[in-house]
Structure 1
Amino acid sequence: METALDEIAFLANSENRVAVFETLVEAPRNRDEVRDRVDASRVTIARILRELEERNWIEQSGRAYEVTPLGEWMYDEFNSLVDEMEAEQQLREALQWFPSDLLTFDVQCLRDAEIILHDASDATALIRRIVKFHRSGDRIRGIARSAAPVFIENLWEVTVHGDAQAELVLIPEALDVIRTHPPSARQFREMLAEENAHYSVYEGIPISVGIVNGAVGINLTDEEGTLKGGLKTENETVHAWAVDLFKTCREEARPVDSDTITA
């Protein structure tokens, strides 16, 4: 008797088997109709139909083949496994830059996350997506390990010249970057003068996380601090994790004094 792994391999190792199985799940079909939909020889189609029938996953009724209840069950389970593996493949590269000690929620909470990785052919694509995310709501909270001028300008536009509420905690090095860039320093001082923008500083921020209304954006960086990608999700568990992390950092932070932001 074949093992469960053998049965999984029976389908997983043959795209033609999956294709034949799938076309019969869609509707009963005869051998010629199956061959019209699957790019395989007549001999191969006949062999696959025989193998599926031997497993009682399909049965012949007249000239047509149709999926049995057992076959529907097996197809659904196999398809679910494929979906899970595809989700894992999408997350695998991104999670190499997510500190494992911060991953205190079930990783499956990220299975539907939007993943944006750095694209060498379009170096600014990731930056544009982050800016767009910050503009997607009217309440922005977060902790940040960087403060690129483009982000400062964007926050300045949505707070000083818009109605968004912003509350962010930065690492001291981020303030140093702002000070050395006169336009950013000016914009930052103007934000600090607004009631709807609040900034503080804390040395122990472990990762950059933005919370815009009910969505969470997580910046992924390598050991040198280079931005490698980002995750965006509206999962409630991840949102609760992000809010808790933000509040923890905010409680330890000290307000930024606008007098210290001089170009």
Structure 2
Amino acid sequence: MAVFEAVAEAPWSRHELRGEVDASRVTIARILREFEDRNWIEYSGQTYSVTPLGEWVCDKFTHLVDEMEAEHRLRKPLQWLPADVVTFDIQCLRDAEIILLDESDATALIRRIVEFHRSGDWVRGVARVAAPVFVENQWELTIHGETRVEIVVTPEALDTVRNHPPSAQRFREMLDAENACYSVHEDIPISVGIVDGTVGINLTDDQGVLKGGLVTDDESIHSWAVELFETYREKSRPVTPDVISA
């Protein structure tokens, strides 16, 4: 491919290609001969140049290589994305930011989620779990800021809040705020956050352990995330202070 791409860009002599591509003289000669036999390149004077057929093949093959590189990058995180929830074309994730759990810095993923929630003026989403650090962050955004927060959570998430007194106090304060709205739904399949026009998707394994996340501003995924949020919000019931105090 290095030889093919070089010749497709501009004519090269065999000597020049040896200096451009890290390969032996014999290897360069073999590759050029094979390309000539396929009519992908042609030799004229002292240089090799691409033919129209070769230009077409190089363009398509380069595109395939790019696609396979994107697939390789997404292969690991996509194993934690539930297929029955994904109704968008996964190719839309090709340029997504991927954040994976780093054993050498276990808090890096949490910090990135907090940073993501702080990146806009309107936070919406569905959440399967809760953690004191997230409650604290949302409390600062709403009580000490002007961010609008609307989140649908599971009963398990509310249990986590209820069993942590500082979080419970923060949560009760947010329930009284005009710019915070929380509701509960029993069965949320995935945690998804929407901050303005950007979407964050939490990746968890079969045991519900957080393994990573995806962040993207793809319009198709944003539409999917908004529809997911609105669907669960319509089926949810408001969280009231007495629920947290129970």
Q: Tell me which interval the TM-score lies in, with the shorter structure as reference length.
A: over 0.9
Counterpart in 1 of 2:88? 105
How does 1:32-71 map onto structure 2 within 5 Å?
A: 32-71=15-54
Q: 1:128 aligns with which of 74, 99, 111?
A: 111
Per-residue CA distance 1:218-253 (angstroms, 9 max, x = gap): 111111110011111112121111111111111111
Counterpart in 2 of 1:192? 175
Per-residue CA distance 1:29-70 (angstroms, 9 max, x = gap): 111110001111111111111111111111112111111121
How much is the aligned-residue C-alpha RMSD, in angstroms?
1.3
Counterpart in 2 of 1:221? 204
What's the offset of the Cα at 1:127?
A: 1.0
- Paired with 2:213 and 2:86, the residues of 1 have a C-alpha distance of 15
Matched, 1:145 2:128: yes
Matched, 1:246 2:206: no
Counterpart in 1 of 2:157? 174
Counterpart in 1 of 2:65? 82
Deviation larger for 166-175 or 97-106: 97-106
Matched, 1:201 2:184: yes
What's the offset of the Cα at 1:260?
A: 2.9
Per-residue CA distance 1:84-143 (angstroms, 9 max, x = gap): 111111222112111111112222222222221112122111111111111111000000
- Paired with 1:218 and 1:26, the residues of 2 have a C-alpha distance of 40
Residue identity over aligned pairs, in percent, reads 68
SS of aligned partner of 1:29:
coil
Counterpart in 1 of 2:98? 115
- Paired with 1:43 and 1:237, the residues of 2 have a C-alpha distance of 49
The alignment's TM-score, normalised by the length of structure 2, stands at 0.96
- Paired with 1:105 and 1:128, the residues of 2 have a C-alpha distance of 27
Counterpart in 2 of 1:93? 76
What's the offset of the Cα at 1:174?
A: 0.6
SS of aligned partner of 1:167:
strand
What stretches of structure 1 move > 3 A for 4+ residues in a row?
Answer: none
Aligned amino acid, residue 46 of structure 1: A
- Paired with 2:44 and 2:105, the residues of 1 have a C-alpha distance of 55
Counterpart in 2 of 1:11? none
Matched, 1:183 2:166: yes
Q: How many corresponding residue pairs? A: 246
Structure 2 gaps of 5+ residues are none
- Paired with 2:83 and 2:26, the residues of 1 have a C-alpha distance of 50
- Paired with 1:40 and 1:91, the residues of 2 have a C-alpha distance of 31
SS of aligned partner of 2:84:
helix
Per-residue CA distance 1:9-31 (angstroms, 9 max, x = gap): xxxxxxxxx11112212321111
- Paired with 1:69 and 1:133, the residues of 2 have a C-alpha distance of 47
Aligned amino acid, residue 22 of structure 1: E
Deviation larger for 142-151 or 236-245: 236-245
